[in-house]
Amino acid sequence: MNAKQYYIAFRSILHKEIVRFTRIWVQTLVPPAITMTLYFVIFGSLIGSRIGEMGGYSYMAFIVPGLIMMSVITNSYSNVASSFFSAKFQRNVEELLVAPVPTYVIIAGYVGGGVVRGLAVGLIVSLVSLLFVTLPVSHLFSIVAIVFLTSVLFSLAGLINAIFARTFDDISIIPTFVLTPLTYLGGVFYSIELLPGFWQGLSQANPVLYMVNAFRYGFLGISDVPLTLAYGIILGFIALFYGAAWYLIRTGRGLRH
């Protein structure tokens, strides 16, 4: 196969992934908007009015970037995890394994679908947030770069989860017991400067903290962590997860029966 044929293969997988979640948009795009609206109302308006300011901004403005990032993480992950596992469960993935399609094209197609859904949900949540608060944009490049890289990272994580999963229940284990605690303890609702020294150090071991703060920096210009460190951690995890996904698909581990 030549480069043009590789592109056609990538485009076919990506198109299938996009059609898959847009066809059931009421289940994939609407629920995150409703959930985040409740967060805005409860945490931003009701509780935020009692808390006051955080980092020099209203509490609503402070938490909005974190909530957007939380929705991007969740949807990027779940899209690839559910889609790839469905293909594995129905034995459709075996057609990809025997086709003359490079492993990186398969990964790019599925991850691309996760990124599109993650960014679409992020955009919807951002538009909903404008009903509650006007966010400044301090560094547009950081906003775009961080949300894209984070979506890629968690799409790769969802792919790895799908490869190892043996039942549909296995897909929900990581989001429930890993992603949810990491996001809630990742500085979405608070600045780690409010924590005692020990808990600040412990929080710095949470990779989501760096993504949330780097994304918040793009809007508000404030961050609890160095921006270069945040980029380094995100890129490092992307390289690690991509290598793991490539190896697993290349060797057929968890895919061939």
Q: How far is CA 102 from CA 4, 81, 253, in A?
A: 13, 20, 16
Helices 30-39 and 103-129 pack at an angle, to 10 degrees, of: 40
Tokens of 164: 């190892």
Torsion angle, CA of 117/153/211/60, rounded to 10 degrees? Answer: 20
Please report the pLDDT score of residue 1 as a whole number: 66
Q: Which amino acid is at 19?
A: V
50, 58 Cβ separation under 8 angstroms: no
The whole-number pLDDT of residue 3 equals 82
CA distances to 72, 163, 178, 243 from 67, in Å: 9, 28, 17, 29
CB 158 within 8 A of CB 80: yes
Do the Cβ atoms of 155 and 76 come closer than 8 Å? yes
Alpha helices by DSSP H, listed for the chain, are: 3-23, 25-28, 30-39, 48-51, 59-89, 93-98, 103-129, 140-164, 168-174, 180-184, 197-203, 207-220, 227-251
Burial class (CB in 10 A: 0-12, 13-18, 19+), 44: buried
Check: CB of residue 220 under 8 Å from CB of residue 232: no
Alpha helices in 90-190 (DSSP H): 93-98, 103-129, 140-164, 168-174, 180-184
Q: Are 50 and 127 in contact (CB under 8 A)?
A: no
DSSP H or E stretch at residue 53: strand 53-54
List the pLDDT tens digit at each of the 257 positions of the chain.
678 888 989 999 999 999 999 999 999 999 999 998 898 888 777 777 777 778 788 889 999 999 999 999 999 999 999 999 998 888 888 788 788 889 999 999 999 999 999 999 999 999 999 988 888 999 999 999 999 999 999 999 999 999 998 888 888 888 888 888 898 889 898 888 888 888 888 889 999 999 999 999 999 999 999 999 999 999 999 999 999 999 999 888 767 65
Which pTM value belongs to this model?
0.93
* Alpha carbon separation from 21 to 29, 88, 115, 195, 205 (Å, rounded): 8, 18, 12, 39, 33
